[in-house]
Structure 1
Amino acid sequence: MSDYCDLAPAHPFHGPYHDHEYGFPVKDDDALFERLILEINQAGLSWLTVLKKRDAFRTAFENFSIDRVAAYGEADQARLLNDAGIIRNRLKVSATIHNAGVIQTLRKEHGSFRAWLDQHHPLSHGDWVKLFKRTFRFTGPEIVGEFLMSTGYLPGAHRDDCPVQRRILAAAPPWTRET
């Protein structure tokens, strides 16, 4: 992702994400859910497209409230598929709703989505991919890798010489801790 450290800083969309979110640990389950769903929606598209639509996604999916999204039915799915502000892909919308329900189950079993992630950390990228494929819909190596890098579970979000990397290390994301 070293190219991102060169491209992003002065960019109106990439810059704020690169400087304040990408690679930092995420503690809130709804925020983790948002990151997973944004990565799923990026599949086959540019990250810039997703960042430009992020506010519309937040509105459409009620700030990525796991409980609200998990309760969506056919009318909500139809509403989402007709929302020009988001990526209107039936498989991605269906996966979002399904994955919200999965996260509800993980919260019941582990206390939180974050606790489930922490319980499985550290895993290799390949083992994370296997776990996510068994657990969620529409997750493959790229989606899982970017989700885990973006939330601090895997290293690689920033180059060592990127000024943001020092702040990430100070925030002690999971990949920096031995368990």
Structure 2
Amino acid sequence: MANTYCDFVKGKGKRTVHESYHDHEYGFPLQSDNELFARLVLEINQAGLSWETILKKKDNFYKAFSNFDIAKVSRFNSKKFDALMQDAGIIRNRLKINAAIENAKTIVGLQKEFGSFQNWLNHHHPQTKEAWMKLFKKTFKFTGGEIVNEFLMSTGYLPGCHSESCPTYKKILRLKPMWMRR
């Protein structure tokens, strides 16, 4: 039986990067700080662009940002920054690249204080979208309302990424820990 897609993927055509993302990533709880960091960086890079552009460049982002190893990215220096600015495989935007590096440094601090980035998120869950936005704006670089909303929805911290009639919605619900279903 074919999947029934949410508005996220309807009309985008079959066999697209959207279909795969919808079925296997969007809204699924992530298991590691590096995965959460990757999603945050990808959402930041999507600002002003289509999500399809980011999905098509995702492998390049992983390569350019050392598989989103937070400790490594937090140590990127000006030479690495300049190399990223020359990398046509990613989005070459100074503010976005700087945000990735600075946010990695921030996450290293959160890991020291809370044990992990995920623990920091869990500590603040549940919150309203507005409260999350305030917290992210205070904590991270280049995290406007839409970026925060999509990051939190795409990682399962805010509801709304799938309609309840979507088979993926039901699959995600089974994967979420009980405390996260609030």
Q: Contact 1:99 / 1:136 at 8 angstroms: preserved in 2?
A: yes
Normalized against structure 1, the TM-score is what? Answer: 0.95
Amino acid aligned to 1:162:
C
TM superposition shift of 1:163: 1.1
TM superposition shift of 1:175: 7.4
Per the alignment, residue 166 of structure 2 pairs with 162
Per the alignment, residue 20 of structure 1 pairs with 24
CA distance in 2, matches of 1:22, 1:98: 25
Q: Contact 2:9 / 2:18 at 8 angstroms: preserved in 1?
A: no
TM superposition shift of 1:6: 2.0
Amino acid aligned to 1:124:
T
Match of 1:10 among 3, 11, 14: 14
TM superposition shift of 1:11: 3.3
Normalized against structure 2, the TM-score is what? Answer: 0.93
Deviations 1:33-83 (A, max 9, x none): 000000000000000000000000000001000000000000000000000
Identity in percent: 54
Amino acid aligned to 1:77:
F
Is it true that 1:78 corresponds to 2:82 in the alignment? yes
Structure 1: unaligned runs, 5 residues or longer: none
TM superposition shift of 1:141: 0.7
TM superposition shift of 1:172: 1.8
CA distance in 1, matches of 2:60, 2:165: 34
CA distance in 1, matches of 2:126, 2:113: 19
Per the alignment, residue 47 of structure 2 pairs with 43
Structure 2: unaligned runs, 5 residues or longer: none
Per the alignment, residue 129 of structure 1 pairs with 133
Aligned length: 178
Q: CA RMSD in A?
A: 1.7
Q: Where in structure 2 are the equivalents of 1:45-64 lying within 5 Å?
A: 45-64=49-68
Could you say if the C-alpha distance between residues 7 and 29 of structure 1 is closer, same or farther in structure 2, counting changes exceeding 3 Å?
farther
